[in-house]
Structure formats: C-alpha cells, structure tokens
Structure 1
Amino acid sequence: MKRFFSFAAITLLFALTACSGQSASTSVPPGQYRAVLKTRGGDLPFGLDIQPAANDPKTYSVFALNANERLRMDPATMQGDSIRIPMALFESELVAKIEGNTLRGIWRRRRVAEQVQTLPFEATKGYSYRFVPEAKTTTSLTGKWATDFGSRTGRVDTVNAVGVFEQKDNRVTGTFLTPTGDYRYLDGNVAGDSLFLSCFDGSHLYLFKARYNQANKTLVGGHWSGVTGYDPWVARFDPKAELPDPASLTFLKPGAKTLNFSFPEPNGNRVSLTDPRFKDKVTVVQLLGSWCPNCMDETNFLSPWYKRNRQRGVEIVGLAFERSADMAVSGPKIERMKQRFQIDYPIVLAGTNDKAQASKALPDLNAVLAFPTTLIIDKKGQVRHIHTGFSGPGTGKFFDQYVEDFNRLIDKLVAE
C-alpha cells in the first residue's frame, strides 16, 4: 500500500476528475459519515461530520471524530463533483468524488519537497459505529495496561507505554501514554476476543489490533501507523503500571542554570530570554513543531491559558523545530499555527525536528528527547522545571493532573 507520487501529478489528476462526470452544482449530503482509510493493516475507520457553511453553499465545515474529540479541519470546498477537505497545518487533505451518500477518493500528505504519500479513502453517510456495530460483550478491557511496543515475544519484558482504556458495552476509548507523549484519542471496539482501535487527525494515522487472552490478561497484536509504519505490541493488565517521571528525562547540563538562545520569528525579529519582555517574569519555554499533533494539544492548552494569565507576570515563548530550517518554507507554517490557535506569544524558528540537531541548537540541555518539551523558568531566569512530552486531553485524568501541577508550580513561582 506504500504509494509515492509527485504533488503536481496528483493535483492534476484530481483537477481532471473534478471537471468530469457530474455538474459543478454537486453538493455533499450533510451529516455524519463513517470514513475509512485503506491501510496495510486493513481498514482504518474514523468519523467525519460534514455541514454546509452558513454563508457559502460551496463551502463546508468538517470535523474529524475520534472518541470525545471533534477536530476541526480547514474549510472544505467543492471542485466540480468532488470535495476537498484540507488540513493545512499538517500539509494533508482528503479529496473525494461524491457518489450519492458515499465519498470515494484519497487521503494525501506532503512529506518532502514534491513527494506526497497517499492512501485510498471512502466514507458513507449515516453510520456512526467504528469497527463493528454496538453489541454486548463479556470481555472488559477497562483499566491500565503495561505495554511494550516492538515486542515479538508475546511477553511484557519491558514497559515503554501504558495503555489506559475505558469500555462501555463493546466500545473502547482511551490512549497509550509514552515517555514522549500520548497516542491522542483512540476509539474502537471489542469483537469476540479481539480489540480494534484507530485514530485519524490529519497527521496521525493509527490502527491497533490485538487478541485478548483472558487467562493471563494479555493483549498481543500489531500497530500500523501512517502509510508504512508497523510495530508488534503486547500489553498486560496492570493497575499499577507507570512510566518514568517526565521531569527526570530532560535536564540542564552541569553548570548550566538557564537556556541560552536567540532565534528569529517569521517576521525576522530575534527573540532571546534576555529580552525586556521576559525580565522579572515567570517564563514558559515550549519546544514544539507545527507538524506535531501532541504539540498542538499542548498549544491548545497554553494559548488560552496565556490570555488568562499574562497580566500576572508570566510569559511564553515557543521554539519551533520544523521539517525545514529555511524560514521561507517553515515561516508560513508557523504563522498558520499561530492563526489556528490564536497564539499571542512569540514563536521562533529554532531549527529542524531532527532530535540530534535540536539538541545542538540548545546546548544547555542534555538532549531534546521529545516534542513537545516544556521548560518553566523563574523570575531570575533560572530553569526550575522541565517536562518531557505532554499528556493531552485524550488521556483524561492524566491531562487533568498535568494542568493541576502546572498551575500549582506557576502560582508558586509568581508568588516568589
């Protein structure tokens, strides 16, 4: 299923498709759709809610549906008998021909230069189930699961993730926590002795399948990601499963007390922690990338938080590590991110998202291990806390605990 085409070739293909067949007056039946991407691991289902815009009959509001998340895509537009649903932040889109209550086409994502990855896509209106329709089951997977991605043994000898699931009837929602972030909103079903989970957010494409062994309470299966990724995985039910402390993984090198940097914003203005805006302020430094959905979850928390708290004497600065260090390429992506999340604090281009290169860009740190990583700096300019990764809202109580701890620390530093 691995497919690479030039961006120009695919654009031409769909321009020709859009100009053929039905007339330009074709419209999309509004409502909820059960959408499917055809991956190497099989069908990857997710929900779509498509509604016409109030002021333009050729424009649609579209949301991707995963568990409790309604993820807003960019405004969708008609092109002849086809609809184009973009997610510009992640340089991806769904393009499909309208055939009654069915959409058929492709998902495509730009990777490097003119190369894009594609997968077949289709969606049918009127269905809300994920993998299988709602049904009763005696299997319950609610709880925490010590998980090892990469294990081919069927045994959990190491733990590099913790699954947190909640089940109602045969529907399962939850995510996997890892030391560098979470797998966002997973949604799926139990069918017989098998678990199926999936997520689509415009960037991440996750499909999980596993067989449940009730005798020893283990799950053994496979995980398909994107167009080509695959990992076996095994999990053991364990209410006490834990990950390493996220405050212990990234730290300052011996002798360092703060973070020294000077990077440009897209407008060319250079930003450093020695700038007057940060003087005598508690400052949050966010290592992120516009390509990173976990970073977007954190930004979705930090942007409104900053609006509510900036008058207390706090500042935020984002260090963006993008796929290209060329401002002409990455500057517009940073600006799109700022516009989407209504970010009022500066975002600078710090380098590329290669972690080795990112570590060189911030030599005061032992390493950059994850995007996002968050540093909290006191009024004297000294780093007081570093949090690797981010437990987003898809993790439920783990996100709530993060927000509580974050606010408690900020309150303490503001009061000093």
Structure 2
Amino acid sequence: MKRPDVFTEISLLTDGEIPRGAIPVRPAGSPSNLHWREVARYVVYEEVFDDETRKFNPPQYPSFPYRYFDRLCTVLQKDLLVLQSNATTSEDLMKDAVKFLESEGELTSSEDLVNLELALTAPRWHPQVNRRQSIHHIPRLSISGPPRRPSLVAKTEETMGFTNKNLSVCLRDGAEGCSIMVGCLPCLSQPLYLLIRLVTDPAPKLLGMVEVDVGIRFVLLALTPRVNEERAMYQTGRCFATMLNDSRFLTALRHSQDPGDIYRAALGFRRDIILISGNYSEILNRSGGIDVSSSDDEVEFERADLVFEDILEADLQEEMTSSNLSLEKEPQAHCSKHPCKRLCPPFYELMCGIKALASRMPSDYIDAFTKDNVGTMFSSILFIYFVVFAPSVTFGTLMCKYA
C-alpha cells in the first residue's frame, strides 16, 4: 500500500475541562478551558474518533453530502484567505495569523484579537498521545526573569515526546502534516477561512499541531461565530482533508499564489469523485463514511486442500499400480476405415437396409413358386389388376377428360 504524502488531522475547538495529557502551546498555559481536541485523522483512509468508546473507529472511505463540497468550492473561490508564514513554533504561527487577520480588517476590536489569540493558542489534545510525566519533563518556572530559551536538541526531544510514534512509522520519509482547526468562536463577526502555508524548507515540526512526528506544511482555520454552523465547518474540513489525497490539488496548494488556482484544482477533483444517490444511505456507517473491507477475511477450504501435490500424485500412482492399469501412452489418432459411417450415418443405414433386402428377396421369390403358394400368388396378381389397378386407370382417364 502506498504511504501518504500528507498526514491530515481535524481538531475541534472545545470549551470544557482540559483532558489529561493535553499539549500546551503557550509557556504560561491557557487561562480558559478552551482546548483543541482531535476528532479525525487521515493516514490512508479516514479515521474518526468516537466519544462513546473513547477510541478511533476502524478506517473508512470518507463520504459527505455534496452540498458541503459545493460549499467548500464556493469558499475557495470567494472567501478563502491565504497567509504565508515563516514561523517555527506553534505560538508564533498563531500570532502571525492574528496579525494577518488584523491587517485584513477581519477583527478590529483589541478584545476580540486577544480572545482569538487565546483560542488559537489553546492546548491541543490527541487521544493516542499521552506522554508520561516525570520530574524531568515538568516545565521550570523562573521568578527572577523569563525562562531560558530551550536548545535545538531539547526542542527536538520535547517534540518527539508529544507524538504518536507508532503512527509516525506508517508515514513515508519526508511526509508533511496539515492541521485543520474548526469550531465556533463568538468573537468573530462572520465565518473565517484562513489557509496558512508554511514556506520554511524543510517544514517545521510544530509542537502539538498534529499527533505524528512530521513537519507542518498547511494549517486551515475554519471558524464560525454561530453554534449551528459548527457541524457544517466540520464537514467542510472533511472535504478539504479528502482533497489533499489528490496530487493535482496538493500541487496547487503548495505552489499557487492565487486562490483561483486552488479553486480550479478543486473543480478538477470534483470530476473524479463518485456520487451516490441518497436512496443508498444504508451503505454509510455511523461515522458518515463507507467501511473498508477487511483484507484478512477467513478463507474456507477442505481438509484435502492441505495435502501437497506430490503426495496426491504418489497416491494416484499407487492406486493405478494396484489395479493393474497401464500407464502406456494413448495410441495416436488415425483415419477410420469406414468414412461413410463416421461422416454420413444416414447413408450407412441405407446401405445396411439394401444389403438386408437383397439377401432376403431371392428367398421370397422362391417361396412364391412353391406348390402351396402358387394359387395364392396368381389370385393376388389378378385381384390387384382388376380390382385395384383397372378402376384407378378408369377414374384417372375420366378426370383428365373433364378437367
């Protein structure tokens, strides 16, 4: 199976108790209960986190109503904002996003800008990343001044500690990550769609952005001020994550400077999607996707299938020897001595009948002229001539005359 080029993760902004093991983005921690929790990921297929079972559902083919895909195409055409960033940390990246939105006039109130920055830098929680805390990993607080800047080695070790190492092995070397952040944020005045492209090469590994140990290349913010639109934002994020598996769309996303090019790449992807009628909704599972058939299904076989071919051949040889059967070669095919019998069965039957008749006819004549049969023979000839033949000739003549 081909390893993916991009690992994509969808995180939902949640207001509630911060789960144990959440990864802090700000050194001072978050003053609120807001946090980003991972709800779906895309390795080869889509995997959705189930809040009831507290684990990821089996991989599935992503499926979503077409109206959400059409909505995403409209966003790419009209409402998408694109930011290129050189940030090397998660906090710096989110600060760049806030500054960009302020310059674009999306938010004008200083209080709204602060609330947006606090939300974007909230802790991030990944269900399968639960780093063991020890005394060596507790952050040191400095009373006299700001903490010392960590070294590159220490930063790398810290990043590795907050990743899913088992899942990271499934990705190819050089794979990159994409984080899709969706949710409801009341400080906004209208829905926000911001695509952040990190131009640093290689892509920087940002703490907590995704659960795997890869560099982050893209971040998509899909936020809305209305609670009833939160589900629509999630479905839009699923559509965007699905399109990242298309090489043409991914290329446009990497190199395009014009959002119109991204929109045209999305239209090209639309020509390749499979549309399913709403009448076939029973094929969808509870997560809204289509189950992937298991590759290790049970194989039914008979016990005789376990016998090797050489053993079967030996048993066959023994059986033929015990029954005194000859293993000589079959005689070569040759032409038949009776071609009429092989090619023309009706003529062969006719010849057999003529032969039998010819052998019986002399005996019939001989029997007719014996003393016991002479009278019967002559009386039969006279009967046929005068009773049968003569009236036939007479009536035939009369019919021809009056015809």
TM-score normalized by structure 1?
Answer: 0.22
Which one has the bigger helix percentage? Answer: 2
TM-score normalized by structure 2?
Answer: 0.23
Structure exhibiting the larger radius of gyration computed from Cα positions? 2
Q: Which protein has greater RCO, CA pairs closer than 8 Å, 6+ apart?
A: 2
Which one has the bigger strand percentage? Answer: 1
